[in-house]
Chains A and B, each alone.
Chain A
Amino acid sequence: MSPIELHVWNRAFGLPSLDPECLAAIAFLSSAIPQDLWVLVESNNVSVSPNGSLPALKDGSQRIGGFDAIVSYLHSKNSGGYDIDRNLTDLQKAQSIAYRSFIRKTCLPIVSLSLYVTSKNWINVTRPLYSTFLQFPIQYEIPHTHHVRAIGLTSHLTSLIRDIAAEESRPIQPVSTAFAGITATADKSKPQEKEKITTRVRLRNLLADFLDPIGEKLAGQNFFFGSASPTTIDCLLVGYLSLLLYPKLPSPWAKEILQQEFSDIVAYTNGFSSNCFPQNITYGTPDENDKLTLINWTKRTIENSPQSWGLTDDVPLNQEGYKAQSTAFWVAVQGVIGLAATIGSVLAYKALTTERKVDVELKEEVAGKEVYSTARGSVGDVGSTGATSNRTEKERLPIFRAEDMLGL
């Protein structure tokens, strides 16, 4: 029997993967399944997964995508032998499900902020990291996709991101020391220091928002539910926490705050991560079809291009009917609008040009200046235009008309 393959994103930061969900899946498999029954495959290829996200599990012909699906698949396999939650009460199982969504909702923005959106870390560490394991054209597309997703996930933290960026750019600013005395930097340094502290406090609050409930729940125990062995929620938690704690970053705010203020959580992560990310993980090589080659990548990009251009939203589940209807509808709308615009413009042009009156432009000298006036008359009606011009010459009063304002 061939071993189960776990497809993940590449190793990084001294951890077996750079993605929190992949780390969680690795932690889960090494806690639930004997070491010789599974291999880790760094395929970096999302088309392995049926739902387009890594981690993905490949068990013979079966393919399962996403941490939650992998967990429930393995729980039901081997008649529950791989179920590491089997000793939990029903309420604890319910809490486990709830805390999974809590961890993702609160911690994923923090991880994204730390690794992808804090520009110093992104430029110096995370972005170059992708180049080390991806080929030439692919190494531009994949990190870009991840970066865009990270920006989307942190969109509610805009002001905080700006503060971090401002703080980072500051040491570069003082270019010349010659004018330092004139611009009085001594006064400036104090508010800067203050600002730095406020940013730090806000980052601390962001982390506390996630870690306080977790810390309460852990209360110094080795595992989340106080059991002797890890459960699913521990695996997910360690996946996210280790990405905050272990990467060596130029702007290491997450690590510093964790070490300063949440020492019990650091102890918990250190204790568990050494067991769940063992040094002797067996690595497998992906099949030819699962490899991220240039050909596979190009094929997938072409297949996905209608979606990335916004032509279709590939939401499965019998959408064909809707798509056909909506396309036909839009074509009809465009046709109607186009037709209406054509007819309208023709009518407007006719109405404005085939009027039986014409404008006669008069150029006159009024008080030494040239002015224009327009007299309107029917075609061939020379008398009326003449009369108007005579009148203006005599009275020299109503020379300007509203429409002439445009000409002048």
Chain B
Amino acid sequence: MASPLRDTFRAPTFIRRLFSHFPLITHPVDPLPMSIEDFYPSAARQHVERSINTLYSFTDSTDGSVASFNPACLKWQTYLRIRNVPFDTHPSNNHASPSGSLPFLITSSPSDRISQTVPSTKLGRWIEEHAVGSANTVDTDGGDYRAFLCLLEGAVRDAWLYALYVDPSNLSSLTIPKYTAQTPLWPIPAILGSQMRQAAVDAIRKSPSSSALPAGTEIYEKAMEAFKALSILLGDDEWFFGADEAGMFDAEVFAYTHLLLGLEIGGGGGVVAEGLGWFGNLVDHEERIRRRWF
């Protein structure tokens, strides 16, 4: 007889009662995704066609001429503007990105209707293929270019992370409000904030030039040294490496100088921003790009 066994394995009344309440609500069916128009061209014809590329980035505005507040996003935004690619920006966050990092570009051109998603790692090549040629002919594989790029991605980036994410005053006054603007519900900004801070500490510690116990003063000193080196590199030229037109490296430098000079950074980071002001040619370089493209 199976009945005693069944008796043993029957769920308790309490559990059965609980589960009989589900589902509580049945939600209406989701609408079809917008990308359905790729498969049904007739649907696309009815839909107002977007005629412009969209750059999804950390930003407050949908206007492509408003600078992003994230250096990695601002770098690509600047370079797209330098290369005259028309685009709108769209406020977004990492979860929206197929690669997990912003920015990414969703393209749209009248010739092919199927839009293409370009993650930031492939953005450089996409711009080379789709934008009109540039007068900037700096060799991006050259030793000096790569060395100074390492300086920017090492010392300057570490100082940026330390000032904006690790330093508590800027974390609560600048970083958290900006990055959690889309989810301003009470505990979420605080939780995301502490997660971002931890991620920044980890990133600084992983940096090859970091010591075992990274300290703010040391990081800021290295950043000042880096800005001094960049200032000497720029010299009296209009653009870096004596180019005729702004290029990728100018966008990279601008991404940091614009934000450091523009944001009201407090604490030790404020000292770096102030120190950056002493290098007149870097300030002029920032203003040159800002005036022309933003």
Contacts and interface: CB of A to CB of B under 8 A. Distances in A.
Interface of A: 46, 49, 51-53, 65-66, 68-69, 90-91, 93-95, 97-102, 104-106, 108-109, 152-153, 212-214, 216-217, 313-317, 319, 321-322, 325-326, 329, 333, 348-349, 352-353, 355, 359, 363, 370, 372, 374, 401-404, 406-408
A403 B19 contact: yes
A219 to B, nearest CB: 11
Given A109-B208, A317-B217, 11 more contacts: A66-B211, A68-B209, A91-B232, A91-B233, A95-B144, A213-B142, A313-B201, A315-B166, A317-B216, A372-B10, A374-B16
B147 A102 contact: yes
A46 B212 contact: yes
Given A101-B150, A217-B143, A370-B2, A51 B211 contact: yes
B218 A69 contact: yes
B281 to A, nearest CB: 13
B190 interface: yes
Given A216-B143, A315-B214, A403 B232 contact: no
B18 A352 contact: yes
Contacts of A404: 16
Interface of B: 2-3, 6, 9-11, 13-20, 142-144, 146-148, 150-151, 153-155, 166-168, 171, 187, 190, 194, 198, 201, 206, 208-209, 211-218, 222, 225-226, 228-230, 232-233, 235, 268
A53 B226 CA distance: 21
A406 B10 CA distance: 7
Nearest to A406: B11
B211 A402 contact: no
A349 B225 CA distance: 65
Contacts of A349: 14
A325 B209 CA distance: 31
Contacts of A403: 16-17, 19-20
A97 B225 contact: yes
A68 B222 contact: yes
Contacts of A401: 20
Given A322-B168, A352-B17, A407-B11, A105 B6 contact: no
Nearest to B231: A94
A53 B207 CA distance: 14
A105 B212 contact: no
Given A91-B232, A407-B6, A316 B215 contact: yes
A270 to B, nearest CB: 22
The residue among A104, A217, A317 with the most chain B CB atoms within 10 A of its own CB is A317
Contacts of B213: 51-53, 314, 316
Nearest to A68: B222
B226 to A, nearest CB: 7
18 contacts: A49-B211, A51-B213, A52-B212, A97-B151, A98-B147, A101-B226, A104-B154, A213-B146, A313-B201, A315-B215, A352-B17, A355-B17, A370-B2, A403-B20, A406-B15, A406-B16, A407-B6, A408-B10
A214 B142 CA distance: 10
Contacts of B225: 97
- Nearest first, the 10 A-B pairs at minimum CB distance are A213-B143, A52-B212, A322-B168, A317-B216, A52-B213, A94-B229, A407-B10, A51-B211, A98-B147, A102-B147
A106 B144 CA distance: 14
Main secondary structure of the interface of B (DSSP, over half): helix
B56 to A, nearest CB: 24
A130 to B, nearest CB: 17
A90 B232 CA distance: 7
A53 B212 contact: yes
A313 B148 contact: no
B17 to A, nearest CB: 5
B14 A353 contact: yes
A66 B218 CA distance: 10
B209 A104 contact: yes
A372 B7 CA distance: 10
Contact of A108 (B208, B212, B232): B208
B202 to A, nearest CB: 9
A108 to B, nearest CB: 4
B151 A101 contact: yes
Contact of A333 (B10, B187, B201): B187
A5 to B, nearest CB: 19
A153 B212 contact: no
Contact of B144 (A93, A98, A322): A98
B216 A316 contact: yes
Contacts of B198: 313
A282 to B, nearest CB: 26
Contacts of B171: 322
B287 to A, nearest CB: 22
Given A94-B229, A315-B166, A403-B17, A52 B147 contact: no
Given A65-B211, A322-B168, A402-B20, A101 B155 contact: yes
A98 B168 contact: no
A46 B2 CA distance: 69
Contacts of B229: 93-95, 97-98
A95 B226 CA distance: 10
B162 to A, nearest CB: 8
B3 A51 contact: no
Contacts of A363: 3
Q: Which of A106, A214, A313, A402 has the most CB of B within 10 A?
A: A313
Given A53-B211, A105-B208, A98 B148 contact: yes
